[in-house]
Amino acid sequence: MPLDVVLNGPPPWGFRLTGGKDFNQPLTVSRITPGSRAAVANLCPGDLILAIEGIRADNMMHCEAQNKIKDATHQLLLTVQRPETKLWSPQVRVDGKANPFKINLEAEQQEFKPIGVGHNRKAQPFIAAANIDDHRQVVSTAYNTPIGLYSSGNIQDAMHGQMRGLVHDKPEGSRTLSSIEESDVYRMLLKDQEEPHEPRQSGSFKALQDFVDSDGTRPMVTRTVRAPTTKPPPPTGNLQKLPVCDKCGNGIVGTVVKARDKFRHPGCFVCTDCDVNLKQKGYFFVQGQLYCETHARARTRPPEGHNLVTTFPSA
């Protein structure tokens, strides 16, 4: 039910407000500062603001409610609705009736249902075994043990498969030798020792022998063998050829001045007659030589009836 709470001023009032029409939530007290005027007036967190200074707060926006509270200087009247909180507690019964002023702190007795004696009487372990032979056996109580793979039969099969790849089977039709004289290899070696061989000769002596045997009628053919020569290493492809100065003929390292298709050092970029540096002064080619404007005019003679006009190249 609605409850009127009166806060005596002056502000600050000591509570925080949340919600409003712009938030689609009712205006609610979210926090109370301990020892503040709101705490003295028994304003509690969670109280819903129904009216401020007698004005309904249902359609108030958050900023409107704040301004309305700030306008109150000496006293603030809030109409709030405090939600009811119900706490459950064990009831104490006296003569069959519940006593609201006593609380039962004893634990309630629960029905005891013991498990039957035949349930899980003795847990059986997991046992795995491997037969070594007819009289011996290896037993393991570990769960999911691979001991069964190490039986005598499995071990023999595995060893037979491994030895099959190392030892090759004898070819069919092979005969057993009773003595070494029956070996084909021994016979081949013995035959090579008994047969005479011609002495080996080099190609030059053999050609000379053929020439002597033919009494000079057969030409002597020999092969020319050249001495080994060391080839110079090929030039490295990463080295770049340096541009050559058109004036002094030396290689240019660093800054290069390019005039048409010719390269020059910055110090060699001068007029052929007066040696004036042509940097940012303009240059002229007359019969393949560089000149300044003054000496270029002096070396150029226009035809009769024509005037000399200076033109500057675009590039």
Domain boundary pick from 34, 55, 81: 81
Instruction: Collect all residues with Cβ–Cβ distance below 8 Å to 238 and sequence separation of at least 6.
Output: none
Cα–Cα distances in Å, from 171 out to 28, 76, 83, 89, 168? 102, 116, 102, 98, 9
Contact in structure between 74 and 10 (CB atoms under 8 Å): yes
pLDDT for 108 beyond 90: no
pLDDT tens digits, one per residue of 170-193: 655 566 777 887 888 888 888 877
pLDDT for 18 beyond 80: yes
pLDDT for 124 beyond 70: no
pLDDT for 158 equals 76
For residue 18, how many other CB atoms are within 10 A of its CB? 13
pTM of the model: 0.30
CA distance 126 to 147: 13
pLDDT tens digits, one per residue of 146-172: 666 666 677 777 777 777 766 566 655
Is 66 a domain residue? yes
pLDDT for 26 equals 92
Is 290 a domain residue? yes
Contact in structure between 289 and 278 (CB atoms under 8 Å): no
Is 30 a domain residue? yes
Residue count of the chain: 315
Domain boundary pick from 81, 108, 125: 81
Is 229 a domain residue? no
Domain boundary pick from 30, 48, 81: 81
CATH number at residue 296: 2.10.110.10
CA distance 97 to 99: 6
Is 293 a domain residue? yes
pLDDT for 313 equals 61
Range of the domain at 48: 2-81
CA distance 187 to 193: 10
pLDDT for 97 equals 73
In percent, how much of the chain has pLDDT > 90?
Answer: 20
pLDDT for 20 equals 92
Region for residue 125 given its phi and psi (left: phi exceeds 0; alpha: psi -120 to 50; beta: otherwise): beta
- At 29, is the pLDDT very low, low, confident or very high (cuts 50, 70, 90)? very high
pLDDT for 200 equals 62
Is 27 a domain residue? yes
281-286 mean pLDDT: 80
Quote the tokens at residue 195: 């047969």
pLDDT tens digits, one per residue of 208-261: 777 767 776 666 666 676 777 777 766 655 546 788 898 888 888 888 888 888
pLDDT tens digits, one per residue of 43-101: 999 999 999 999 999 899 999 999 999 999 889 999 999 877 655 556 667 777 766 66
Is 213 a domain residue? no
Is 245 a domain residue? no
pLDDT for 283 equals 80
CATH number at residue 34: 2.30.42.10
Average pLDDT, the chain: 76
Burial degree of 160 (CB within 10 A; 0-12, 13-18, 19+)? exposed
Total domains in the chain come to: 2
